[in-house]
Chains A and B, each alone.
Chain A
Amino acid sequence: DAGVIQSPRHEVTEMGQEVTLRCKPISGHDYLFWYRQTMMRGLELLIYFNNNVPIDDSGMPEDRFSAKMPNASFSTLKIQPSEPRDSAVYFCASKRQGRETQYFGPGTRLLVL
């Protein structure tokens, strides 16, 4: 059974450019989470979806960040325009309804120059 898939694994971009991160959750999982990990702030939840509907986006830092989940097998996190302080590792995770264990993808390492 495939795990959570994220792409790209690494992204280097210049300040002001649009960045799109992609995630495919584990098949059959109803919840999808986007996290960000930095040295300064640790691991923090940005947003999570249940059955493709955003439930809690209080962790999204500002309007430059947006996330969508058009169907049960795909989600995107977009940053427009990107800034150097957005440099971090972005993780996607998923879980099944009724279970609490979250399964993380390998992460996307983003560097904004």
Chain B
Amino acid sequence: GIQVEQSPPDLILQEGANSTLRCNFSDSVNNLQWFHQNPWGQLINLFYIPSGTKQNGRLSATTVATERYSLLYISSSQTTDSGVYFCAVAETSGSRLTFGEGTQLTVNP
């Protein structure tokens, strides 16, 4: 099956700093999503981005499908950004998502 690797595994920032999270995948994908799991365990979908670039407020994501990676940018980080960020991919539309192991982000005040 498809492999998903996320880096770094852990990241500690001071409030206001910027960060980049990376997701590498082993095969062509038709579906890539970024999720945030907050400290209370809730999973929130951030982006559906199989290719190209999207922005939502302080967050943006870019997927370069031909090179099999995606990046999640967090600018001016806030303590509420803390949690685990997951990348999930599927080889075809409508099929099962495979999740990476996540990046644990801690933003200190």
Which residues in A have some Cβ–Cβ distance to B below 8 Å?
Answer: 31, 42-45, 48, 50, 56, 58-59, 89, 91, 93, 99-104, 106-107, 109
Contact = CB atoms under 8 A, between A and B. Distances in A.
B25 to A, nearest CB: 15
Query: 8 tightest A-B contacts by CB?
Result: A104-B43, A43-B99, A45-B96, A101-B48, A100-B48, A100-B31, A101-B45, A42-B101
B42 interface: yes
Interface string B24-48: 0000000101010000011111001
A107 B41 contact: yes
26 contacts: A31-B94, A42-B99, A42-B101, A43-B86, A43-B99, A44-B99, A45-B96, A45-B97, A45-B98, A56-B95, A58-B96, A59-B96, A93-B43, A100-B31, A100-B33, A100-B48, A100-B50, A100-B90, A101-B48, A102-B45, A103-B45, A104-B42, A104-B43, A104-B44, A106-B41, A109-B41
Interface residues of B, number: 23
Nearest to B88: A43
Contact of B96 (A48, A100, A107): A48
B93 interface: yes
Given A42-B101, A42-B102, A100 B41 contact: no
